[in-house]
Amino acid sequence: MTKKKLNKIKTTKKWPFEITSLLNNLFLLIFPLGITIINFAMIKSGFLNDDNKLITAGFIGFLIGLFLIIFLLKKLHQNQFFTSYTIQNLTHEKIKDSLIAHGFDNYNYHEIGYFQIRTDISWFSWGGIVTIVPNENELLVNIKSEGMYGVRLPIASSRDKKNIQKFINELKRSAF
């Protein structure tokens, strides 16, 4: 990440637009889009052949595909934005101490002014990257799940979200 990109994140509270991110997100949408198109073809074929079973099955599959597309688009959109937390007296040392206290030992602090934490793969988590950007008395947090071979996934695990919430609560308590 560059200083320019970091400043853009601080002002917009979201990741800047990148073509690679767009292509990765489009790749994730291929499967539900395929389900939708195939089931639309089933509906069309059912009407042409006057087959109510084919129309019904196609309609159900079409709705499932449409639901998956909407769900994925919503999650991908949420992954673009940082969650903002207001914390008084925020310092890098307090952030580091709180990260270590909550088991985030594998964090990296980048000199331009942000933290990145790689979460581990477990039974309930696919692993991911947590980006923490301190901005005066504001902390911006973004969680992106990452599967095998660096493929971005749309859904962050609840375990990571709970651990980050505990981390934020600890920072707020230590601020006073």
Model pLDDT for residues 37-48, shown as the tens digit of each residue: 999 999 999 999
Do 101 and 161 have their domain in common?
Answer: yes
pLDDT at 156 over 70: no
Give the percent of the chain with pLDDT over 70.
85
Do 120 and 69 have their domain in common?
Answer: no
Q: Is residue 7 part of a domain?
A: no
Q: How confident is the model over 106-125, as pLDDT tens digits? A: 788 888 888 888 877 666 56
Q: Is residue 8 part of a domain?
A: no
Specify the number of domains making up the chain: 2
Do 93 and 25 have their domain in common?
Answer: no
pLDDT at 129 over 70: yes
DSSP letters of the chain? --HHHHHHHHHHSBPPP-HHHHHHHHHHHHHHHHHHHHHHHHHHHHHHTT-HHHHHHHHHHHHHHHHHHHHHHHHHHHHHBPEEEE-TT--HHHHHHHHHHTT-TTEEEETTTEEEEEEPP-SS---EEEEEEEETTEEEEEEEEE-GGG-EES---HHHHHHHHHHHHHHHHHT-
Chain mean pLDDT for the chain: 81
What pLDDT band is residue 26 in, cutting at 50, 70 and 90?
A: confident
Q: Is residue 106 part of a domain?
A: yes
Do 28 and 110 have their domain in common?
Answer: no
Do 24 and 61 have their domain in common?
Answer: yes
pTM of the entire predicted model:
0.73
Do 69 and 86 have their domain in common?
Answer: no
Q: Is residue 71 part of a domain?
A: yes
What pLDDT band is residue 161 in, cutting at 50, 70 and 90?
A: confident
What value does the mean pLDDT take over residues 52-71? 93
Q: What is the pLDDT of residue 152?
A: 57
